Chain A
Amino acid sequence: MMDAPQRTDQMTAAAAPVIDVQDLSVQFTLDEGTLKAVDHVSFAIEEGQIFGLIGESGCGKTVTAQSLMRLVPTPGQIINGQINYRREKGDLIDLAAVDGVGPAVRSIRGNEIAMIFQEPMSSLSPIHSIGNQLMEAILLHITRSKREAYKIALDMLDLVGIANPARRMEEYPHHFSGGMRQRVMIAMALSCRPRLLIADEPTTALDVTVQAQILDLIARAQSQFQMAVLYITHDLGIIAEICDKVAVMYLGKIVEQGSVRDIFHNPMHPYTRRLLASTPRIGQHAERLQSIEGTVPIPIGLPHACGFCSRCPDRVAGLCDAAVPALVEVESNHSVRCFLHSEREEAAS
């Protein structure tokens, strides 16, 4: 930690990452065995960047997001790696090393890093008014004055497009539709002007027209506040629309990472290719939707092999099922974890 400020000095201000995740591993100790939800994941998000994390259900993307805020549910534990978060004044803090319920992480949660969740219907307390829940974080992090907090909360509701905000503040979540609740959640997340916003599938539970509005709202807020965004989704369309960089996750590992352009125009990992092929496109005639054969294995007691090898059409017998490929930067800023592109194996851990 001593040389941390020095390192930030060497980097140019624009390219300095807000958050730099190094070798993060999260495990759940269950009766069935140890579940490796996140397995040596590394990525960095720069200031003002929208970083997409994509993958199927159960691939570890939500746990990755939760660990950035130290919200991994029990019995999950961060067992390896660093989450280096650069605070506003430039000092680094390793969120993986601090007490998960202590004052250090609490002063960052909701204040510098905020999160929007997948299920707007259950994300708000049913028995507290919207105003009460909205003002809570503001009163905790920004001001002690209730009047000032009320004013900020009102402005935030207005910003996220909720009409008649003064009346809405007095109302309760059951007066709001799913899309409106997600707007409230976004207002809540933005209320302390976070430097990093984590959006965990914020549109998955909403219907399509509302999805577009919410997505637009997040994109507008991002450009207005110039914050970094970690956007988690399984929807490639959303990634293409708003993200700058993408990481593709499979079975707790990042299998491919690069700019949106690279991932869409030059996908290298067979999983990414299959994922892109399974997206229907307007104007393209297809008899059936493409799907990826097989299912995602449960990451408990996996064999020493490439995680995708059982479903991979391009697998090389004797190689893919006998060794774990390493994530290798094969082009500038484009990494892939596949023996088809690099023969490097992952160092044993």
Chain B
Amino acid sequence: MLSIIVRRIFILIPMLILLSMISFVIIQLPPGDYLSTYVLRLESQGLVVDEAEIARLEQRYGLGKPLYTQYFRWMRNFIVHGDLGRSFGSYGSSYENKPVSDIIMERLPATMIISIVSTIVVWAVAIPIGIYSATHQYSLMDYLSIFIGFIGLAIPNFLFAIIIMWIVFAQTGHAVTGLFSLEFKHAPWSIAKVIDMLKNVWVPVLVLATAGTAGLIRVMRANLLDELNKQYVVTARAKGLSERRLLWKYPVRIAFNPIFSTIGWLLPAMVGGEALVSIILNLQTIGPVLLTAVLRQDMYLAGSIIMILSALTLIGTLISDIALVWLDPRIRYD
């Protein structure tokens, strides 16, 4: 088992390097480079360009040098200084010339918190309902969960977000926008800020979890229905085990495995799915930044976000692979 983990981590390293190369190519795809865009913009605003600053940046990012040199400079700056380049200020002027790493670090925690909390809610709600549906197939509750599940799947997230905002506003007069109350919005992270966030986080979590729950109920129900009629379940029953004990020990455990293997996709799916919701709810997450960065060709920002998300996806996949090896002895090659 340990050898598999070590081997998988070794495979991860070249994957990550390849990933950074692809991200860098994306950054380089638009004509011109960061510096010329920056200089152009300053000049168009009638500002004086500081020659020394330009030279310093040119040196730092290796601009004007061959592409591979630029790539190595970019990677070295990232690894040594945590510097991924600077934003062109596509996402509001306050981000102008701000280091990309700062923007990502500012927004990644909220994104991950929403993603993780939504996932926990999805699992906690969907798995018991899925198990109930499968073990009580074609019962009234089964049909009810299918019906509600399809409604959850069919309503677009952004519409659901708007409806919830309207309902909350109409009932309480409180406008649900953003993840934090005003007094905490720019405060550094603290316990009070976390508590404040928990008061607001339920709206995006509810919106994001609805679709996920509906989907996972279907998957869990189908997986479990496949397992329930397998011979090994009859074997367990023939030993005299009680229905509840044999259900949890055998078919449910095995029906879990395909679900575990999808842990790695959660983050990119959430970032893709939450962009619209975040825009509507005014959440300080990565989705909207990535969207505007791509639209405005803010390439250091866009490329870096893509690289970080892809890296997190790879790590997520590694985690789910390790979980699967641990759960399913058939995967261990020994």
A and B associate in one complex: yes
Q: Footprint of B on A, CB under 8 Å?
A: 69, 71, 73, 101, 106-111, 114-115, 117, 119, 122-129, 133, 136-137, 140-141, 172, 174, 185, 188
B330 contacts A109, C-beta separation under 8 Å: no
Give Cα distance in the complex from A124 to B238, angstroms. 12
B250: interface (CB < 8 Å): yes
Q: List 9 A-B contacts (CB under 8 A).
A: A106-B240, A110-B241, A115-B238, A117-B235, A128-B249, A136-B239, A136-B241, A137-B239, A141-B240
Given A125-B254, A172-B329, does the pair A109, B235 have CB atoms closer than 8 Å? no
Contacting residue for A125 out of B240, B243, B250, CB 8 A: B250
Whether B242 is near chain A, meaning CB under 8 Å from some CB there, is yes
Please, how many angstroms separate the alpha-carbon atoms of A107 and B330 in the complex? 32
Contacts of A128 in B (CB 8 A): 249-250
Given contacts A71-B237, A111-B240, A137-B239, contact A124 B330 (CB under 8 A): no
Of residues 214 through 246 on chain B, the ones whose CB sits less than 8 Å from some CB of chain A are: 229-232, 234-243
Contact status B238-A109, CB under 8 Å: yes
Q: Which residue of B lies closest to A136 (CB)?
A: B239
**Nearest Cβ distance between residue B4 and chain A, in whole angstroms?**
16
Name the one of A117, A122, A127, A140 contacting B328, with C-beta atoms under 8 angstroms. Answer: A127
**Known contacts A125-B250, A126-B254, A127-B329; A140/B239 CB under 8 A:** yes
Contact B243 A101 (CB under 8 A): yes
Interface pair B239/A188, CB less than 8 Å apart: yes
Contact residues in A for B330 (Cβ distance below 8 Å): 126-127, 172, 174
> A127-B253, A127-B254, A127-B327 are known contacts. Are A122 and B231 too (CB-CB below 8 A)?
yes
Instruction: Report the separation of the CA atoms of residues A74 and B328 in the bound assembly, to the nearest whole angstrom.
Output: 29
CB distance from A347 to the nearest CB of B (A): 34
Residue of A nearest to B235 (CB): A123
User: Which residues of B come within 8 Å of A, CB atoms?
Assistant: 229-232, 234-243, 249-250, 253-254, 257, 327-330
Give every chain B residue within 8 A of A110 (Cβ-Cβ): 238-241
B198 to chain A, nearest CB (A): 37
Complex A-B, nearest 10 residue pairs according to Cβ-Cβ distance, in ascending order: A110-B239, A110-B240, A109-B240, A137-B239, A122-B231, A172-B329, A125-B232, A106-B240, A123-B231, A115-B238
* Residue pair A123, B232 in contact (C-beta under 8 Å): yes
A188: chain B residues at CB < 8 Å are 235, 239
Contact at B238–A71, with CB atoms within 8 Å?
yes
How far is it, in angstroms, between the C-alpha of A111 and the C-alpha of B239 when the chains are bound?
A: 7
Q: What separation, in Å, do the CA atoms of A185 and B239 have in the docked complex?
A: 11
CA distance A129 to B235 in the complex (A): 15
Q: Which residues of A contact B229 (CB under 8 A)?
A: 73
A138 CB to closest chain B CB (Å) equals 9
- Closest residue of chain A to B242 (Cβ to Cβ) is A106
B102 to chain A, nearest CB (A): 46
CB distance from B223 to the nearest CB of A (A): 14
* B331: nearest chain-A partner, CB-CB: A127
Say which residue of B235, B240, B249, B253 sits within 8 Å of A108 (CB atoms).
B240
**CA separation between A129 and B239, bound complex, in Å?**
16
Chain B nearest CB from A116 CB (Å) reads 9
12 extra A-B contacts, CB within 8 A, seeds A101-B242, A126-B328, A141-B240: A71-B238, A106-B240, A109-B238, A109-B239, A110-B238, A125-B232, A127-B253, A127-B329, A133-B235, A137-B240, A174-B329, A174-B330
Residue from B237, B253, B254 with most neighbouring chain A CB atoms (10 Å): B237
Q: A140–B253 contact, CB under 8 A?
A: no
Using CB atoms, name the residue of chain B closest to A113: B238
**A106 adjacent to B241 (CB under 8 Å):** yes
Minimum distance in angstroms from A122 CB to a CB of chain B: 4
CA distance A123 to B235 in the complex (A): 6
Is A119 within 8 A of B231, CB to CB?
Answer: yes
